[in-house]
Structure 1
Amino acid sequence: MKLPGRDAIARQPDEQLVRSRVRLPRKVVHRPIQQVGKRLAMALLTLVVTALIVWADRDGYHDSSGHKVNLLSSFYYATVTLSTTGYGDITPVSDSARLTNIFVITPLRVLFLIILVGTTLEVLTERTREEWRQNRWRAALRDHTVVVGFGTKGRSAIQTVCATGLKKDQIVVVDPSSKVVDVAVAEGYAGVVGDGTRSDVLRRAEVHKARQIIVATQRDDTAVLVALTARQLNRAAKIVAAVREEENAPLLKQSGADAVITSASAAGRLLGLSVLSPAAGMVMEDLIQQGSGLDLVERPVTKAEAGRGVRETDDLVVSVVRGHRVLGYDDPSVGKLQLTDRLITIVRASPGTRVTPDIRPLPRD
């Protein structure tokens, strides 16, 4: 497999760097054009109310041109008054008109200005507010999960980890497509637009503070570069990657991935198993769908289980993780369970409950 060099990646357009930014989920708000339209309607309503107030007390106003104050003159007076222009050709002369200007029209003028100035200030402060939200998000983010690639594999991986109890605010999605990141943000995840092979993009996702990194890119060469870059930024995180071709799995492990899943081979094995035994295929599919039916769970050995055999535990144990080795339940070398062991068991997923596995990265040589 021929991998693109770092120089080729560095020659990407600067537009990619500009679009590489963090997007955080936020409450549903009106679109900018809707916000402006709403404020414009409020300003027009204030203008109409003011004009009607003046017209209702039109006998208390004097027009320097000698004409009576009609409805058009009332709207004219309201316009120049609310905008603080004040030409002085129409003036209140009666006590009631002057009191109305003091206690009614002046507050309406202030409200009118607040509406206009508020719209301008909101536009000017939007970017500052967004930067403040991002800084606060970065400061609070710890031990999160970074998912590079929000395609079918990335979505399925997120659904699985969320089924174990991981919160959405602990997941950061990285994808080069702005539209894809928008979809992820709409679903409640933080998103970073950019190429996951670039260290600056992964830093925006706070990958150096991440606990787990899932590489679910569309191309195997991209997955290798992502894993290599992520491992350089974070030596302790657990990196799990997916590849299409099985021959590329060793290269990914050399690049720093702790576990590599061959998507094409895994799907093919499940297809073959379903042909030989549809029931067995259904059971396997149930096992890999976390949160329903039967679940595969990795958990530590309890004090009560230490010193016992695998068959003496309450759960159905499939394998025992001891150090760097994964031993079958019937492996003679398992012997008695130790407190440092971890068990991979099959449990029944109870409705409404979630099991949060204690996931820890494997020791690296």
Structure 2
Amino acid sequence: MTSAGAAPSGARGRGTRSERFVICGDNLLTLRIVEALRRQRGHGTEIVVVVADRTGRYVARIEAAPGVRVVEGGRSDDDDGTFLAAGVLGATAVALVDREDVTNIHRALRVQEIDPSVRLVVRLFNTGLGARIEGILPTATVLSVSETAAPSFVAQAIGRNTRQHVRLAGRTFVVAGRREVREAALVCGLAANSQTGARGGPRLLPDDSDPADFVLARAESRARVTDQLSRPRTERLRNAVERSVVLVRGSLTRRLARATLALVGLFVAGTMAFATVGGYSLGDAVYLAVLDSAGAAQPDTGASVAVRVIQAFVTVVGIAIIPLVTAVVVESAVSARTVDRTARRAPRRDHVVVVGLGNVGQRIVTTLRERGVPVVAVERDEDTAGVGAAARARVPVVFGDATRERVLREAGVENARALVAVTSDDATNLQAALTARSVQRAVRVVLRLRDDDLAGRVERSMNAISRSVSYVAAPVFAAALRDGQVLATIPVGRRILLMAEVAVGRASLVTGLPVSVLAEPGEVRVVGVFRGAGPDAVLEMPPRPRRALKVGDRLVVVATRGGLGTVLERCDSRTAVGR
């Protein structure tokens, strides 16, 4: 380990077998990326971490990781010596993973000035900004931690009844239970519940000869994926009706609602009086009542006393209705901004309650809405940026402490399908989950917990599902550092499978070997190969086992985090494949 200003140990050029990855950041994501890179079992791989302060919360654990060098500095605008000491010149790739978007962009520009050809992986929350900086950072891959992790939380919250979809080369694939798909649509098995893996839980990526309970399948057949196509429409329609009720109820105060009902009742009574006492048909009775209530009554002294009384009565009711309608319109306009936030008294069922509208929470809320799943958010701070995002997504927000039963009841947790607690505080998330379970014992609970040991114990003790945002996102960042593209993260219990695209490089010894040499039971399955380049590339799925791999072939793999690292290493470097 060295400090800023020291020469980097073992600095090497690009033409050698060794790799050097530089990570700028001192947060939990940095630690997870370090662990993910170390799992990839690369030989001669050097990992350098640039931290602003050695007293940071996770720096000691980062320093304790074997083969990791820590450099302190990089805080001042002109401290390029820190990046030189870290070895960004000639590095395989550099990751900028600070929590602040501006800091990461600034550091990326500084690194690019030092080495314009170095591969950059930049963490940005604002993905719209990320799509626009390619012109100034041509070698950068922009990733959002919250956008990467949100689908995993959503998949666990809504369960297997709403399947996870993956789009690839114009095709749609679905992650589902084995009994839900046809044999012809099956791509590969993902997990077998009847078998126990090395880390406990279901065995991942079993052989074709082993029965898989959880699979990846093609979703071309509309008849077999009816729940994907019809259920979201049904849920959107139900949500639209519910939304209308919410808006109406949110626009009326209790007194105004009572006055409205009273006047409507009087109007109906007048109509029925015209039809019975006056002897008019029902159509004529409604016609007269409407005209009279609108002030268009014509005096008729020749009419019977009963009809004249009814006509006068309905006219007076109509006079009262006009200011009432005006009051409703004015109040609706005044409360339009707050209806979305406070319309929480409407009954809801089978929805998801999301606690916390930080970066991850707002991504989860918008993803659920896009899938047609009803959602209610709970947030303590009205000034949180995610409140605006929820309003734009037309999601009602309950303001208050999610650890209090009253607040969760206002969010309808007693009738919810799931509660997702993703605040930045583990204790708040855990307490909110326990409170929700006290209200409804059957509610599905998905928690954001940073502490691995706590997460494992919580899962075992209360049958909940725990997720760490950095745990889900780190393999994607690690793959990007090795020039791989992760297409989807697939949660299986507490473990994560990755569907990724990996290119066969010029320096790889797998060139000329069959696809089967890369398959590893329990770790790696090669489910497809893109032959050719650009728009003319053809996806071969499943790949022919004896077809030789060529430089430029792009492999579609489903793998564990360690398995993906192995594939990336073998396809990128001159590492012999022992088969």
Calculate the TM-score normalised by the size of structure 2: 0.27
Larger Rg: 1
More helix by share: 1
More strand by share: 2
